[in-house]
Amino acid sequence: MDTKIQPLPATKHIALVAHDGKKAALRAWCNQHRAVLSQHVLYATGTTGHIIERDTALPVTKLLSGPMGGDQQLGAKIAEHDIHMLIFFWDPLASQPHDPDVKALLRLAAVWNIPVACNEATADMLLSSDLMQCEIDRHLPDYDKYLATRMDK
């Protein structure tokens, strides 16, 4: 796969997601990192977004609830370069009825090479990075070249 470099902007669109067993942890984490998060643009799955907005007063664009399609909506936004970072406190001790959607979201985050944190320790490291405040280069699939090779089939 050919790749190209496309910058992630200094003001990042950050997706916030937590499974039910991790919602309290994400809410506490958002309060702890409120100052940094307030400099970026926040998105979330439905329930997570409502809780964060209510308890931190940070503005959040709320999509559908995860089991109703919210993970898939976030995945589509990653593929369209509308989301630049994913903080996903998924619960390793509970199975989810929408596990395929969760896997698809994490897969698209890997395809499009955005920073992802799946636990609090990694999320702390991401938010404390100097790179949160600057534009950063990332390699991502060169979709035009990918399409051109497929057209030869």
Ligand X SMILES: O=C(CO)COP(=O)(O)O
Give the catalytic positions in this structure: 71
Residue number, nearest CB to ligand X: 66
Window 7 to 66, contacts with ligand X (CB under 6 A): 17, 19, 45-48, 65-66
Min dist. Cβ of residue 102 to ligand X (A): 5
Shortest reach from residue 42's CB to ligand X, in Å? 13
Q: Which residues contact 71 (CB under 8 A, 6 or more apart)?
A: 17, 45, 98, 101, 102, 104, 105
Contact 17, 102 (CB under 8 A): no
70 annotated binding-site participant: no
3-class DSSP state for residue 14?
Answer: strand
For the record, the structure tokens of 44 come out as 């979330």
DSSP string covering 80-97: TT---EEEEE--TTS--T
Tell me how far, at minimum, the Cβ of 101 lies from ligand X, in Å. Answer: 6
Q: Total binding residues for ligand X by CB under 6 A?
A: 12
Fill in the DSSP letter of residue 11. Answer: S
Draw the binding track, 94-133, toward ligand X (x: CB under 6 A; -: no contact): --------x-------------------------------
User: Is 122 within any annotated ligand binding site?
Assistant: no
Check binding of 141 to ligand X (CB under 6 A).
no
- Could you list the beta-strand ranges (E) of 13-135: 13-18, 41-44, 60-62, 85-89, 116-117
**Residues making up the binding site for substrate:** 19, 23, 45-48, 65-66, 98
Residues that bind ligand X (CB under 6 A): 17, 19, 45-48, 65-67, 70-71, 102
